[in-house]
Amino acid sequence: MATSAIGPGFLTQTAAFTAQLGASFGFAILLSVLFDLGAQLNIWRVLTVSGRRAQDVANDVVPGLGHALAFLVVLGGLAFNVGNVAGAGLGLNVVFGVDVRAGAALSALLAIAIFLVKEVGRAMDRFTVALGFVMVALAGYVAIASAPPVGEAVLRSVVPERIAPLSIVTIVGGTVGGYITFAGAHRLLDAGVTGPGALRHVTQSATSAIVIASLMRVVLFLGALGVVSQGLALDPQNPPASVFRHAAGEAGFRVFGVVMWSAAITSVVGSAYTSVSFLRGLLPRVDERWARLVIAFIVVSTLIFVTVGRPVKVLILVGALNGLILPLSLGTMLVAAHRQSVVGAYRHPAALTVGGALVTLAMAWLSVQTLIHEVPAFLK
């Protein structure tokens, strides 16, 4: 779940919103951590106690709701995958200077090969894990080298000068929205981690995933804030890459491109695989056409990006779209948490129910504000 969250959209959103909001973006990060925990702890506990996938649980709550949820998750996954393809194109643009759309198309072809050839996929996973450590180390170096105003960041995280609903909806959606949080819960189910006896492990896993993703977000935020506070402008065509270039020079810029591409290319496969998995059990003959559907998912994602372009806006808006799905998915799981037909004799903690309900209501309100006021202005 953490590696699904930390992708090209994650990097671009953090840099772009830091450039827009400055130290006040820290407030959005702090709020998102609380929202992320409230959402993920509820969803993972309900699914693992029930031992059933999200679409099946939703259908038990309201007949047909699971189909609607699956449709929205697949739609959000498709949008997220468009962002992943865009990130892969941006990564190749940084490393080789190739056109972003051409790089996206080449990356999509490689993603299909990774999916079809398991040996290549395993090698790519090891390669990405190694580069992931490089990314963390480089992000930490950037956060130190850019000398961010830490005191102001701490202050504005509690007393912001400006609040942008789009930033909150986007980064919450990019961490636990859409398919991402369900991917982690479904992986636990596939591993046989089910029932009330597994709750301690589930809680620890859900919390550690949020902590890892949030720590990386804070480090990137501080690095970008240090650059912005020096009066340096970020490249609107690739904000996170310019953060690394300003703080770590040309070498850091190139390494960032390789890491961003690696994270994006594996996310293309993971997003397609997980999104299509939501159709399992809901549509006939999905298992027989599994590989074809995943490949089609990647192809459609690439065609949308090549047609639409505007990679930075795509990477930000896909997080917002996944954030819009969260009120429905989390609200459904909260109802299921108190359905004996779903969880049996298990009693869901009242504190988690209240916290989850507050997150659901807050995200619903923020989503409406974002749709009405901020998305139209952002698209101009």
DSSP state of 62: S
Tell me the average pLDDT across 123-139: 70
Q: What is the token pair recorded at 24?
A: 């006040």
CATH topology of domain 2-379: Amino acid/polyamine transporter I (1.20.1740)
Tell me the average pLDDT across 42-52: 95
Measure the CA–CA gap between 15 and 236, rounded to whole angstroms. 10
Residue 150 banded pLDDT, cuts 50, 70, 90:
very high
Measure the CA–CA gap between 204 and 51, rounded to whole angstroms. 18
CB atoms within 10 A of CB 286: 15
DSSP 199-262: HHHHHHHHHHHHHHHHHHHHHHHHHHHHHHHTTPPPPTTSHHHHHHHHHHHHHHHHHHHHHHHH
Asked if pLDDT for residue 379 goes beyond 80, the answer is: no
Report pTM: 0.84
Contact 95, 312 (CB under 8 A): no
CB atoms within 10 A of CB 120: 13
As a whole-number percent, the residues of the chain with pLDDT over 90 amount to 36
Return the axis-axis angle of helices 150-158 and 199-229, rounded to nearest 10°. Answer: 120
Asked if pLDDT for residue 26 goes beyond 90, the answer is: yes
Asked if pLDDT for residue 92 goes beyond 80, the answer is: yes
Residue type at position 104: A
Q: What is the token pair recorded at 112?
A: 């299909």
DSSP 270-294: HHHHHHHHTTTTTSTTTGGGHHHHH
Measure the CA–CA gap between 5 and 257, rounded to whole angstroms. 18
Domain coordinates in residue numbering, the chain: 2-379
Contact 220, 256 (CB under 8 A): no
281: left (phi over 0), alpha (psi -120 to 50) or beta: left
| Cα 168 → chain centroid | 13
Asked if pLDDT for residue 281 goes beyond 70, the answer is: no
Asked if pLDDT for residue 332 goes beyond 90, the answer is: yes
pLDDT computed for residue 84 by the predictor: 87
284-328 pLDDT tens trace: 776 677 778 889 999 998 998 888 766 666 666 666 777 778 899
pLDDT computed for residue 121 by the predictor: 59
Average pLDDT value over all residues in the chain: 85
Q: What is the token pair recorded at 132?
A: 């992931």
Measure the CA–CA gap between 113 and 111, rounded to whole angstroms. 5
